[in-house]
Structure 1
Amino acid sequence: MTNLIEMLKISKAFGGSVALRGVSLTLEPGSVHALMGENGAGKSTLMKILAGVHQPDSGEIYKNGHRISFANPRDALAFGISTVFQELSLLPNMTIAENLFLGREPVNRLGFVDRKHMRLHTREALAKLGLTLDPNMLVSELSIAERQFVEIAHGIDADASIFILDEPTAALNATDVEVLNAHIRRLRDEGKAIVYISHRMEEIFNVCDTVTVLKDGQLVGTRPLSEMTPGSLIAMMVGRELEDLFPARAGAFGDVALEIEHLKLEATSKPLSISVRKGEIVALAGLEGQGQQKVLRALVGEYSPFSGSVTIKGKTIRLPLSKEAGIRQMQASSVAFVPEDRKDEGLFLGLSLAHNLSTSLHSSRNELSRAQGFADVIASTLRSMNVKAANARMPVGSLSGGNQQKILLGRYFATKADLLLIEEPTRGVDIGAKSEIYKLLRAFAEGGGAVLVLSRETLELIGLCDRIYVIHGDTVVTQMQAAEATEHNILDAALSA
């Protein structure tokens, strides 16, 4: 098979920091090529060179045997290379049609922008992805998934032959992921080459056929995924096997820290009961959208269940909680809630690490209390959580996903919370940072804390947790010891229900 793209011995440095050292990558038509490695491995830099965002310091790029180079991303797109980065490039204050034709607006005979042509052509481009969106919709009105698909439609409209997808599913639910993967397979079958950057093992093995691993800016190797397992791929990335990512489970537990009783998420759903003991990490597992997130959010007033009660430290609270006061009511009971979307619901991206860490410390104090800087608490939290940052004054938005997640967790560890409710603890986090977060959660539990967690990654729940409740149809269908659980019996329990 003729190679579509050959990147040969690419090197790139930013100041004194070397991002890539002689990395080579080959992309074949009709393939989905996974590009993997921990944060800082060089994946995004390599793809930004291919996309024309950066120019290499040395090395060569060939397309169909001809040497190429790009001064900017527009040149790359014109040459058939379309990129959907984590930081979506669509302009939110413009329409879908205006974004698709940005910089290449058609004009009519009178020299005015031909908006009718733009709308018709945009509708056709969206239809190729099965989208029926109005071309006149502002991008700001679209969901994250819809923005992803519009970016891909942009590349299809430009007749791209190479698609670079950088963490395309980080903010998508399971249904949207499957829709996206169907489009990826269709592009593959049309002879396109797709580069897929993701930390999600299940997706890599589901949609990709080849994997290239980078580490510290250097090439580790390229392998067919048919020859790999999740364990061997992780070992290739970080030098240790899958089971080594998880700390040892607890041997003994304390008193019940959380007791959810007779919780009816909907008027017609069956009541459920869940308990978590001190020192224990308990999972809510099951198929997407079966009620796991409703349970967690009902405990902090972010979802209003039909009825039920929760007992914390011997104090029983009737549900539903007030949306306005639920979070503060739980904070007063030493309960912390870590939402799935750290960027929109968790962190203040433009504020410093110090501000983000001290938010809950300030909110737990009386409004007439004397102001405090909490410098010692901030410094010790950054140190204990191994946050990689130059100083506490840096904006948290400048950190990697793993370090952002540590800051979000550290905010509640600093308050000495007793109970942690956490959604997707390692979403958009590389393998090395995942292992660190697992150890932090286990250390929190060993210190007498209790954790109730949900995740779309079943292997994560099995490896991290002590007990697993399987949720289906807004109720508990079974529970099992995590040490005895498998992906198969969890799925079987969810589907049998």
Structure 2
Amino acid sequence: MTELVEMADISKSFGGSIAVDRVSFALQAGSVHALMGENGAGKSTLMKILAGVHQPDSGAILRDGRRIVFANPREALEAGISTVFQELSLLANLTIAENMFLGREPVTRLGRIDYARMNAETGKALRELGLDLDPETLVADLSIAERQFVEIAHGIEADAAVFILDEPTAALNAADVEVLNRHIRRLRDEGKAIVYISHRMEEIFQVCDTVTVLKDGRCIGTRPLAGMTPAGLIAMMVGRELQDLFPPRAVDTGDVVLDVRDFRVGPETRPFSMQLRGGEIVALAGLEGQGQQRFLRSLVGQFQPFSGEIMIKGERLSLPASPAAGIRRLKAAGVGFIPEDRKDEGLFLGLSVEHNIAIGLHARQNEWSVAKNHRQTVADAIRDLNIRAAAGAAATVGALSGGNQQKVLLGRYLATKPDILLVEEPTRGVDVGAKSEIYKLLRDFANAGGAALVLSRETLELIGLCDRIYVVHGDTVVSELPASTATEHDILDAALGA
């Protein structure tokens, strides 16, 4: 194979912290190269150096054997390196087409921006990914999954030789992942080099040819995937084999704490009923956009359902919930809501770990008082959740890894000692070691008598973590399965309406 790009002995520090330590990394034409490691291992920093976001402190980047230096991402793109970062970079107040052509807008003969051409080329790029989206749609009106696909379409639309995909499937369900993988294989067959960063082990083995593992900023090794097993790859990443990723399921359950009766998402949808008992973790499974998130967000007032009755610990929750006061009302009822998008909807990235956890405690007080002894509660949460932050409670949340950010968000609600947790995507963008810790935290919560209702696009996660699975299709529950005997095939059959 032809070597398109070589990164030789790259090092990068931020302050006194070494993010990348003398790492060498080579990309071959016609290959998909997995870059793996726990959060904080240096993967994103290494790729941001290749993409021109950061400049290395030492080392060299070679393109077709010649040394190159990128002052910014635009120079990297002009050199044929296209990047889709984990942190979505779309501008919400612009249309899809305006985002796709930002900084390189075509112009007419009169010197005006050629919107017709932008919309036409954007529509073509979206259709190639199987997206039925209007190019003139504002990004603010898209779901997280749709935004992720637009990011990917943006990268594929550029005629690049190297594609860097940083957690491209974190917001995608199984069907969307297969669409993406089909295009990745097409790019590979056209002689492109693809860097694939993901924590989803099954995807790595499905689509990648080679893997490089980083740990603590250093390269542990590069191996062909054909001779590896998932257990061996995990051992390279974390220094040990994870024999039991998921903790044991519930043995005993308690009383019904959430009782949903004759719930209808819309006027044309079939009603459904479901229950959640203390001591259990229950899943909402299904293909993207089938109603599982609409139902969950009906409880917090971010979606207005058509009808239904909700009972929380025997008390009726009136619907529709107020968009302004829905979450406060749930907190008062002993319910915590953990949103999918921890950065935009959950955390205050510029504030400390202490502030982010204590906010949940203060919110329980009246508007003229604050929670007493909250510092000890925060310290207990940091210890119990194993939140890794060099500066401890004073650390800025935005500087933490994805796994530690997720644990801070979970800690905010666990510190308030709720009875019920509503959790969207509990391990989105989280490495395998942190996943195991989060699964244990949720199971410990259930074992202590709590109840959790979990929404996730990762079917294997739902099967391994949960006790029961409700499958949603067409805005209604179409099947209930015991997780202990459920298979991916069973869930997909029900999710497709079969």
Matches within 5 A, 1:332-411: 332-369=332-369, 372=372, 374-389=374-389, 390-411=391-412
1:164 alignment partner AA: I
Any conservation in 2 of the 1:283–1:465 contact (CA below 8 Å)? yes
Cα distance, 1:359 vs. partner? 2.3
Match of 2:442 in 1: 441
User: Are the structure 2 counterparts of residues 53 and 289 from structure 1 closer, same or farther at C-alpha, using a change threshold of 3 Å?
Assistant: closer
Compared CA separation, residues 306 and 228, structure 1 to 2 (3 A): farther
Partner of 2:307: 307
- Mapped to 2, the partners of 1:152 and 1:492 lie a distance apart of 28
Shift of 1:34: 1.7
Measure, in 1, the Cα distance between the counterparts of 2:310 and 2:98. Answer: 49
Offset, 1:437: 0.9
1:98 and 1:448 map into 2 onto residues whose CA distance is 47
Alpha-carbon distance between aligned partners in 1 of 2:398 and 2:290, rounded to the nearest angstrom: 32
Q: Output one character per residue of 1:262-306: Cα deviation in whole Å (capped at 9) or x when no partner.
A: 323333433322222222111122333333223322333333333
Shift of 1:206: 4.2
Q: Secondary structure at the match of 1:245?
A: coil
User: 1:422 Cα deviation (Å)?
Assistant: 0.7
The residue aligned with 2:167 is 167
- Report % sequence identity: 67
CA–CA distance in structure 2, aligned partners of residues 316 and 108 of structure 1: 61
Gaps of 5+ in 2: none
Contact 2:354–2:378 (8 Å) recurs in 1: yes
Instruction: Give TM-score, length-normalised by structure 2.
Output: 0.86
Q: 1:4 and 1:466, CA in 2 relative to 1: closer, same or farther beyond 3 A?
A: same
Counterpart in 2 of 1:10? 10
1:38 matched to 2:35? The reply is no
Letter in 2 for 1:65: G
Q: Which moved more, 1:43-52 or 1:401-410?
A: 43-52
**Post-superposition shift, 1:432?**
1.5
C-alpha deviation, 1:139, in angstroms: 6.7
In the TM superposition, what are the counterparts of 1:80-479 in structure 2 within 5 Å? 80-89=80-89, 100=101, 102=103, 114-116=111-113, 120=117, 123-124=120-121, 127-130=124-127, 159-172=159-172, 177=177, 180-241=180-241, 243-369=243-369, 372=372, 374-389=374-389, 390-479=391-480
Can you give the 5+ residue segments of structure 1 that lack an aligned partner in the other structure? none
Distance 1:470 1:321 in 2: 24
Q: Distance in 1 between matches of 2:145 and 2:472?
A: 25
SS at match of 1:244: coil
Deviations 1:183-222 (A, max 9, x none): 4333323221111212233443444333222222222333
Cα deviation, residue 318, structure 1:
4.7
- TM-fit CA distance, 1:418: 0.8
CA contact (8 A) 2:161 2:192 kept: yes
CA distance in 2, matches of 1:74, 1:30: 24
Structure 1: how far apart are the matches of 2:155 and 2:300? 42
Q: Which moved more, 1:384-393 or 1:457-466?
A: 384-393
Aligned-partner Cα distance in 2 for 1:337–1:142: 21
* Offset at residue 352 of structure 1 (A): 2.9
Match of 1:48 in 2: 48
Q: Which is further off, 89-98 or 187-196?
A: 89-98
Change (3 A) 1:154 1:496: closer
Taking the aligned partners of 1:71 and 1:494, their CA distance within structure 2 comes to: 47
**Deviation by residue 1:4-53 (Cα, 9 ceiling, x = unmatched):** 22333433344443333343322121222221111111111221222233
1:293-327 per-position Cα deviation (integer Å, ceiling 9, x unaligned):
23322333333333322222222335443434432
1: CA distance between counterparts of 2:99 and 2:268? 46
Which whole-Å deviations, capped at 9, do the CAs of 1:91-133 have from their partners, x for residues lacking one? 667775597463x788999xx9x33468647854763454898
Kept in 1, the 8 Å contact 2:119–2:136? The answer is no
Equivalents in 1 of 2:155, 2:259: separation in Å?
51
Measure how far apart 1:424 and its partner are: 0.7
